[in-house]
Amino acid sequence: MNKNIDQLIQKIKAELGLLLSISFGVFLFVLFFQPFPAINSGFDNDLVFVAGLSGIVLVSMIVVRTIIPWLISENGDSENNSKIYPRYLKGFIIFLISAVAFEFYLRYVGTVSIDFFITFKVVFICLAPPVILNLYDTLTGLRHQNELHLAEKKTMQKQVEKYEEDYLNKYVEFVSENVSENFSLLIAEVVFIRSADNYVEIVFKEGETFKKKLIRNTLKNIELQIRQYSNFLRCHRICIVNIHFVERVIRDNQNHLLVIRGSDEQIPLSRQYLLKLKEAL
């Protein structure tokens, strides 16, 4: 319970500056434009009476934006109540409480005779706070979305930089069991790697031509050699593919196949690797 109360206090502190600014704006508006007739409030200082009007707005905003969400929330976090307590409902309740309290305050404290024009002025003044709050919430939401987009953009830029570093500039060395057949290729050249009995067949692209190289090793060992490069993905028990050469996935009866870009070659795709490859593409 103490934790929930602390959350309420923190929420009020977070919004207090905004709410005080709005209520102070109401105070200045009533003070300088004097929308109501001469007030016989009994106060020695009319500033105190006008401060009461702005206080009504302040209290109504605090109650509606912080206390009510806190009360109906299961864990004290009012952000989880957006569906059952939407923003437009908050604005309407603030307007309704403020307008009714204004009328009572003017009538019974200021002894102002309430008529249509007084009511119209009250409605006009009490509409301003929820409208301002709605604009503030909208701008805050847009700013938050923009921050998320910027963070996502930075993440994508890092991924692109990592791809360029791995895919364009680095060599991968394939090591054979007897060490005599070792050779290196640019990662951008390697298309796929396929098991061939006691050998591994490496298909790579040289210019516009697809070429093949056999080295004596197992596919499992080759997979360990290249696992640091994110663009290589196991697609079948006998095959590893460079995902940047995958044009599309097709289905042949009950089997899935990968179509290699720029080639008539089609390599098998196991069901267990299907989802992972789709996510990578």
Domain final position from 134, 159, 184:
159
CATH of the domain at 263: 2.40.50.1020
- 148 shares its domain with 81: yes
Domain final position from 103, 131, 159:
159
Predicted confidence pLDDT, tens digits, the chain (281 residues): 566 788 888 888 989 999 999 999 999 999 888 888 765 555 556 788 889 999 999 999 999 998 888 888 755 454 556 666 788 889 999 999 999 999 999 998 888 889 999 999 999 999 999 999 999 999 998 999 999 999 888 888 877 666 666 556 788 888 888 777 788 888 889 999 999 888 999 999 988 899 999 999 999 999 998 888 888 899 999 999 998 899 888 988 888 899 998 888 889 999 888 888 877 76
Coil vs helix vs strand at 173: strand
Domain tally, the chain: 2
- 149 shares its domain with 177: no
Domain that holds residue 230: 171-280
Domain final position from 159, 183, 204:
159
